[in-house]
Structure 1
Amino acid sequence: MSRQTESIMDKVWNIFSSMKTGLVLLGVIAVVSGIGTLIPQEALDPGGAKSVNSLWKMLGFTHLYSTSWFRLILGLLSINLLVCSIQRFNGIYRKTFKPQPPQSASSIPSKIQTRISGNDKKLREAVSEVLKHKGYQLKINEQEGRWSFIAQKHKWGNWGSLITHIAFIVLVVGALVGSMTGFKGFFMAGEGETLPIQQIKVSKGNVAENFYVKINSAEDRVLANGERDNWYTDLSILESGQEVARQTISVNHPFSYQGVTFYQSSFAQGGKFTVNVNGQKVPFILQNKGGNYFQAPGTDLYFILAAVKADPKAPIVLYQVYQGNSSQPLAMGQMNLGEVNKINDTVSLTFDGLSSFTGLQVKKDPGVNLVWLGCALLMIGLVLSFYWRPHTISGILEMQEESYLHMGAIRGKLAVGTQEEFNQIVADIKKRLASDSVRS
């Protein structure tokens, strides 16, 4: 049973350690993502998503990036990269920290190599001094009748591709954590309004928090020269009816509470009103241009604010009243500050002053720190891969009557730079040998 289990594990490991598996998964993600760009997504285009064929909806292509099967594909790709990284780790570690000088001439890299003859002592001195001058770190092995070395420069560049792969894994994990446990939403609220966080309009995810948000004030602040300063919202967080946090936010200055972040997104003018129904007075606020409505208690009358002139000294509003499901207004009128308009025999409306509405984006993303970590690792990996390319040169000196130095360089992905570096080192060694011969 143990052998059978081990065999199954080996097969699974071999599948996920295969580059072919990674390429297949990348191809599937590319094709699926391509289809997703052509099909409207519910979070970005709700109207367009509704018109999509029911088959595509059933398969989840209208909310592609939050489907379980798409997350599964990303997870499988991450496992593939992780297994490949684990397999490569020991080799990269040995190459970086435990390089071994060659044991014979056949161990010298064959693509880029040369042979230099000369006095063994002078050859050793020339190789050591030239390579150290070029910034290489040498490891030397001396045996009877043989001297060998391996030299490295920019050895940390060996880790570039591995760190890049790990960065992708961290980015995927961060995105999955954020999409599965976080949420993104929006709400528009007026001054003095209090609403539970769970009632905000969510575009993705689910709200698990259970606190309340109170809008103390909202302001469209203008500078003395007439230019707009910023939108400001003074909001409070309430738990069990008690204020536990308070902050004034503005554009580019968000506020976070228990991992939930509030961003200033928009602003709208509004008006304060009081409706009198058979002697019962009820205050309410309306958003400009019909952004919300108010139903007079005990009636089928609905009030909206059609327009507002936001002059602090002499504000003017245009209101409309609808009855039942009618699409035509029952009444409409213009009102100045403090003015009272009679709607019918039992209902009247008073304009009490200007008000403001604030639009806030609300987001919780527990995976954001992982995403930032992934981005940092990705930058490090790319820098190491492209701007800190490792150079490794090895050689073996056979000390006989006439000594020969067999020396070569590991080709790497960018052979042109390696070849140029190697040629320069060979030229410097020969130049050093020639100058020693002249002096002697």
Structure 2
Amino acid sequence: MKSLLKLFSSVKLAIVLLIIITSTSLIGTLIPQQRSPSEYAAQFGQLANLLNRFQITDLYHSLWFLALLFLFALNILICTLTRFPAKFRKAFQPKLIKDKKNILVLKIKDSLGKNWGLAKTKEELKRELSSRHYRLKEEVEENKAFLLARKRTLGLFGSDFVHLGLLIILAGGIISGFGGFRKNLTLSEGDTLDIPNAEFKLRLDKFETEYYPDGNVRDWKSTLTVIENEKPILSKIIEVNHPLSYRGFVFYQSSYGWDWTNTSVGIWVKKRKDPSFLRKIDITVGEKVSLEGENIQISFIQFIPDFILNEKNEAATRSLQPRNPAAFIEGWQEEEKIFSGWIFSQFPDFSRIHSEKETDLSFELKNFKASQYSGIEAAKDPGVNIIWLGCTLLMIGLACAFYWPSREIKIILEETQGKTGVIAGGIASKNREDFQSEFDKIMTSLRRLR
């Protein structure tokens, strides 16, 4: 039990856990969280399975990450509790120093003699210390007096406020991990979706993309309406860094894209032996249209925005951006398929049409069109207010530790034959040069008194 207590009260363990948590959080920042399996497969390939298996794709809600937070919180708690009693006694039950040796070993110290009695020397010293906002504790024994002057005692607990703030932040993180969620929603204009764990719906009324003059995306804007009990409650235009908040849920504009499952394309059909032959057809995925003047029907099976062949030599998309658009089509004569294959927008000469029967037809993918969707991130974070409370305590603790450090002056007065000797030493947790200057001014002021 003692060895376990020693382990969890170790600063080394805190550093190791902090490094691990920071490193894993960095991974969670670099790898998009809570996306669809298809997005991970498109971006990471076979590595996507490994990321899902170890919950890297939902890292902040994974049990192992929450366990790390719990261990770190336990480490901080035990460290604080083992050190707090001594600090409490020092702050509220200080002991007076009665042995000169304990003062003479201090780095900041001084001594002087006054041609006064013990009582007057003590009163003048107390007046000087009080003017500098020191609080005093004293004890008199025969011809000796022992004084302890202190100020900024709250600075002693700066690290404890920091630890308490961290504990509250970790508690908020654990609460958010178990009770919160983030989900990416995909909405096209006019779509209405039920929000998970909520009693309202969200409708996308309008989505627009703004561009710079050079063609790069400037901003995305979504007009969202909250619907509760089949009635619109609230409407707001959201954009990046300007979310919609409602009933503890926050909706962020996170991305945009195209609904490639319902793509419409324009295909030009030509004959190699007849340059004057040209037929233009517009067709949507899943449709079958007749080719004018020919006993052939064209069927549009699949559209891929960024065509590649994967390790298994299968057609796949490298991304969801239209960098290498391709359409898979089939040709039918009544119930018989006579050709099939891929045609490419950017590389028409590389069309891969496999004919079951000899045909003079060639195909070119001239244009394509898909409706845009808005990517909305829905988030509920029940621990966010707790985290803000922890951050506030953390900042208070840092301010106390660095800008309000405790100062302590220990003094022994001894009267001999009507004269009083003064031995004083000081301790400061921070800013020792500044404290040394204040200490010297106090002793100089006492020397000048007549």
For residues 314-360 of structure 1, give each alpha carbon's deviation from its aligned partner in whole angstroms, at most 9, with x where no partner exists.
xxxxx9975579763699xxxxxxxxxxxxxxxxxxxxx99764332
Q: In the alignment, which residue of structure 1 is the partner of 2:97?
A: 102
Q: In the alignment, which residue of structure 1 is the partner of 2:342?
A: 328
Q: In the alignment, which residue of structure 1 is the partner of 2:177?
A: 179
Conserved 8 A contact 1:41-1:64? no
2:390 paired with 1:394: no
For residues 262-309 of structure 1, give each alpha carbon's deviation from its aligned partner in whole angstroms, at most 9, with x where no partner exists.
1223456999x999xxxxxxxxxxxxxxxxx86459x97468799xxx
Q: In the alignment, which residue of structure 2 is the partner of 1:114?
A: 110
Quick one: which of 188, 191, 206 aligns to 2:189?
191
Conserved 8 A contact 2:18-2:72? no
2:105 counterpart SS class:
coil
Q: In the alignment, which residue of structure 1 is the partner of 2:206?
A: 217
Quick one: which of 58, 66, 70 aligns to 1:71?
66
**2: distance between equivalents of 1:209 and 1:196?**
8
Q: In the alignment, which residue of structure 1 is the partner of 2:159?
A: 161
**1: distance between equivalents of 2:104 and 2:385?**
43
Q: In the alignment, which residue of structure 2 is the partner of 1:375?
A: 391
Larger Rg: 2
**2: distance between equivalents of 1:320 and 1:149?**
88
AA partner of residue 179 (structure 1): G
Q: In the alignment, which residue of structure 1 is the partner of 2:236?
A: 247
Using a 3 Å threshold, how does the CA distance of structure 1 residues 354 and 178 change in structure 2: closer, same or farther? same
2:15 counterpart SS class:
helix
- Report the CA distance between 1:14 and its aligned residue: 3.3
Q: How large is the Cα RMSD of the aligned pairs?
A: 4.5
For residues 8-41 of structure 1, give each alpha carbon's deviation from its aligned partner in whole angstroms, at most 9, with x where no partner exists.
5xx38833663x2x41242255257558868996
**2: distance between equivalents of 1:395 and 1:49?**
73
In structure 2, stretches of 5+ residues that fail to align are 34-38, 212-216, 265-283, 289-297, 306-324, 331-338, 346-368
Conserved 8 A contact 1:254-1:262? yes
Conserved 8 A contact 1:16-1:84? no
Conserved 8 A contact 1:26-1:77? no
**When the two structures are superposed, what TM-score results if normalisation uses the length of structure 1?**
0.65
Q: In the alignment, which residue of structure 2 is the partner of 1:315?
A: none
- Report the CA distance between 1:258 and its aligned residue: 2.8
Equivalent residues in 2 for 1:342-357, closer than 5 Å: 357=373
**1: distance between equivalents of 2:341 and 2:441?**
85
2:423 paired with 1:406: yes
- Report the CA distance between 1:261 and its aligned residue: 0.6
Q: How many residues align?
A: 358
**1: distance between equivalents of 2:57 and 2:255?**
27
**1: distance between equivalents of 2:122 and 2:424?**
12
- Report the CA distance between 1:175 and its aligned residue: 2.1
In structure 1, stretches of 5+ residues that fail to align are 1-7, 199-207, 223-227, 276-292, 307-318, 332-352
Tell me whether 64-73 or 30-39 shows the greater mean CA deviation. 30-39
AA partner of residue 159 (structure 2): S
2:401 paired with 1:385: yes
**2: distance between equivalents of 1:362 and 1:321?**
33
Conserved 8 A contact 1:213-1:236? yes
AA partner of residue 95 (structure 1): K
Q: In the alignment, which residue of structure 1 is the partner of 2:5?
A: 14
**1: distance between equivalents of 2:62 and 2:251?**
26
**2: distance between equivalents of 1:328 and 1:251?**
38
2:46 paired with 1:30: no
Using a 3 Å threshold, how does the CA distance of structure 1 residues 189 and 13 change in structure 2: closer, same or farther? same
2:416 counterpart SS class:
coil
**2: distance between equivalents of 1:249 and 1:39?**
25
For residues 394-418 of structure 1, give each alpha carbon's deviation from its aligned partner in whole angstroms, at most 9, with x where no partner exists.
2121233232222211253554444
Using a 3 Å threshold, how does the CA distance of structure 1 residues 419 and 374 change in structure 2: closer, same or farther? same
**2: distance between equivalents of 1:366 and 1:42?**
23
**1: distance between equivalents of 2:302 and 2:8?**
65
1:216 counterpart SS class:
strand
**1: distance between equivalents of 2:254 and 2:429?**
50
**2: distance between equivalents of 1:143 and 1:83?**
41
2:444 paired with 1:427: yes
Equivalent residues in 2 for 1:229-378, closer than 5 Å: 231-239=220-228, 241-266=230-255, 295=286, 301=300, 323=329, 328=342, 357-378=373-394
Using a 3 Å threshold, how does the CA distance of structure 1 residues 305 and 61 change in structure 2: closer, same or farther? closer
- Report the CA distance between 1:385 and its aligned residue: 1.2
Using a 3 Å threshold, how does the CA distance of structure 1 residues 78 and 320 change in structure 2: closer, same or farther? closer
- Report the CA distance between 1:104 and its aligned residue: 4.5
**When the two structures are superposed, what TM-score results if normalisation uses the length of structure 2?**
0.64
AA partner of residue 181 (structure 1): G
**2: distance between equivalents of 1:183 and 1:135?**
51
**1: distance between equivalents of 2:72 and 2:238?**
40
Using a 3 Å threshold, how does the CA distance of structure 1 residues 330 and 354 change in structure 2: closer, same or farther? closer
- Report the CA distance between 1:73 and its aligned residue: 3.0
Conserved 8 A contact 2:259-2:372? yes
Using a 3 Å threshold, how does the CA distance of structure 1 residues 250 and 260 change in structure 2: closer, same or farther? same
2:342 counterpart SS class:
coil
For residues 403-440 of structure 1, give each alpha carbon's deviation from its aligned partner in whole angstroms, at most 9, with x where no partner exists.
222221125355444434323322222223xxx1xxxx
Among the aligned pairs, what percent are the same residue? 26
- Report the CA distance between 1:69 and its aligned residue: 3.1
**2: distance between equivalents of 1:134 and 1:49?**
68
**2: distance between equivalents of 1:136 and 1:81?**
32
